[in-house]
Amino acid sequence: MVKFRRLSTSRWWNNRSTWIIIIFFSVLLIVRLSKTFIFRDLYYFITKPFWPGEYQQEILRKSLNQELNIKLNQLEKDNLRLRQLLDLQNFSADNKLNSSVILRNTDSWWKKIILNKGSQNGVRTGDVVTGPGGLIGIIENTSRLTSSVQLLTAPNSKVGVWNERANLHGLLVGIGRKNPKLIFYSKNVDIKIGDYILSSPASTILPPNIPIGIIQSIDNESEPNTIATVQLSANPEAIDWVQIFRMRL
Amino acid sequence: MKVYLNKYLSLFPFLILPLVIFWNPSWFSLMGYQAYWPIIWLLPWALIHGPFKSLLVGFLLGFALDTFNSDVYSQIPGLMICGFWFGKVGRLNRFINSPFQFGLTGAIGSLICGVIYFCQMVANLLLENSPLWIFSYGVENIFAQVFLTGLLAPVFCKWLYFLFSSKYKFNI
């Protein structure tokens, strides 16, 4: 317990406001060192009464039909290769986890959403998040109760993708806008507007053949590679329920 | 109790500020863009407390906000500059607390912070030899934030100014 003397005879450690500043800065330092996990977990409890209910989840199931149609076409063609990949990657339906979006920051500079599942549910950095329509993003960090998802539209987002029709691989780069850019690895590629873009089977961070989006426009004059704009099939601004695929090797 | 409430009244909006940034209320957004909320708190506080305290508070505010977004870039320089400038403006006794002045000052502050943050992004992309597609998005984002901050600052800043100033006291 610090005892304060009269201000006229005080030194800096007798000044109440000095101690308040020190304590305040210490709290901020603790928050910084803990990387806001304490604050996020506190936010988890504050927002818990306001989470979206099961009714919205039922409504969103209808939009899954479009994703399933795309998946069905790919699964019929790549059945043998997926079985070989499953042996390597241990990716199965048992590793899926449903989660709701409790915080959405999809505008301004930062593109991320916060989910209500964390490390205590087995979620780890690098796990893949999908929603109605396809891939949404990748888990960038987890606290005990919550997880932060870096969206595909984030400026530092880079994922490997491909188009099955032309058997072309490329890199999907977030630019901060709703439609990220797709860089192909060569020039004069056989790609058309309306082609489906899926996660690459050669990717080590994503499960293969998750729907991502559709080619919206192609810039054939770009050098040295062809660059296209992709319209994402999953809209993180409208999604309240997502699935987390826990990637286990 | 009354003394503590009056003295530390500005602390409560400061604690609510991270919640507002986390929550990102869509009612105050325009075509997906949000105002720059830290400026809306910093402006009235700096007008009352002066440039050097505001410089320190700008640093603390930026320090706290950087923690929420695990990015390479920092909001600290922009908020420190804005805090110092707002404090200087308040000391000149030319600030007559009109909505237009709050809006204009807030908009300029948002522009300063946005430009500094965007410059960090551009510098990082140049170091990585990445294409600068983010340029058009960044400029668009800055102007949208400036517009929205200028629109909301007269309302919120004026209310916060009365809350922080010595004219408003709790009578408990």
Query: How many beta-carbon pairs under 8 angstroms link A with B?
Result: 63
Task: Provide the 3-class DSSP secondary structure of residue A211.
Answer: strand
Neighbours of A204 (CB within 10 A): 11
Query: CB B64 to CB A32 under 8 A?
Result: yes
Q: Are A209 and A135 in contact (CB under 8 A)?
A: no
The helix or strand, by DSSP H or E, that contains position A197, with its residue range, turns out to be: strand A196-199
CA angle B124, A247, A120 (to 5 degrees): 95
Query: CB B33 to CB A105 under 8 A?
Result: no
If you average pLDDT over residues A115-140, what whole number do you get?
91
Q: Testing the interface with A: which of B66, B128, B137, B147 to mutate, by most A Cβ within 10 A?
A: B137
Residue B109 — pLDDT band, cuts 50, 70, 90? very high
Task: Give me B2's structure tokens.
Answer: 């009354």
If you average pLDDT over residues A48-60, what whole number do you get?
71
**B31 neighbourhood in chain A, CB within 8 Å:** none
Please tell me whether the interface predicted TM-score (ipTM) of this complex is above 0.85.
Answer: no
If you average pLDDT over residues A52-71, what whole number do you get?
72
**A107 neighbourhood in chain B, CB within 8 Å:** 24, 29, 32-34
Smallest Cβ–Cβ distance between B64 and the set A31, A106, A141 belongs to A31
Q: SS3 string of chain B?
A: CHHHHHHCCCHHHHHHHHHHHHHCCHHHCECCECCCHHHHHHHHHHHHHCHHHHHHHHHHHHHHHHHHCCCCCCCHHHHHHHHHHHHHHHHCCCCCCCHHHHHHHHHHHHHHHHHHHHHHHHHHHHHCCCCCCHHHHHHHHHHHHHHHHHHHHHHHHHHHHHHHCCCCCCCC
The helix or strand, by DSSP H or E, that contains position A71, with its residue range, turns out to be: helix A64-77
Q: Quick one: pLDDT at residue A90? A: 47
Which residues lie across from A158 on neighbouring strands? A173
Residue B48 — pLDDT band, cuts 50, 70, 90? confident
Buried-exposed string B92-109: b where 16+ CB fall within 10 A, e elsewhere:
eeebeeeeebbbebbbbb
Q: Testing the interface with A: which of B53, B70, B74, B116 to mutate, by most A Cβ within 10 A?
A: B70
CA angle B109, B110, B112 (to 5 degrees): 65
Res. A58: pLDDT tops 90: no
Q: Counting Cβ atoms within 10 Å, is residue B90 exposed (0-12), middle (13-18) or buried (19+)? A: buried
Q: What is the dihedral of CA B126, B128, B133, B136, to 10 degrees?
A: -40
Q: Against a cut of 0.80, is the pTM above it?
A: no
Res. A249: pLDDT tops 50: no
Q: Are A193 and A216 in contact (CB under 8 A)?
A: yes
Q: Which residue has the tokens 């304590």?
A: A23
Separation between Cα atoms, residue A81 and residue B75, nearest integer Å: 47
| C-alpha closest to that of B51 among B76, B90, B84 | B84
Q: Is A235 on the interface with B (CB under 8 A)?
A: no
B28-47 confidence digits (pLDDT tens):
777 778 888 899 999 998 99
B133-163 confidence digits (pLDDT tens):
777 778 888 998 999 999 999 998 988 888 8
If you average pLDDT over residues B60-73, what whole number do you get?
82
Query: CB A155 to CB B121 under 8 A?
Result: yes
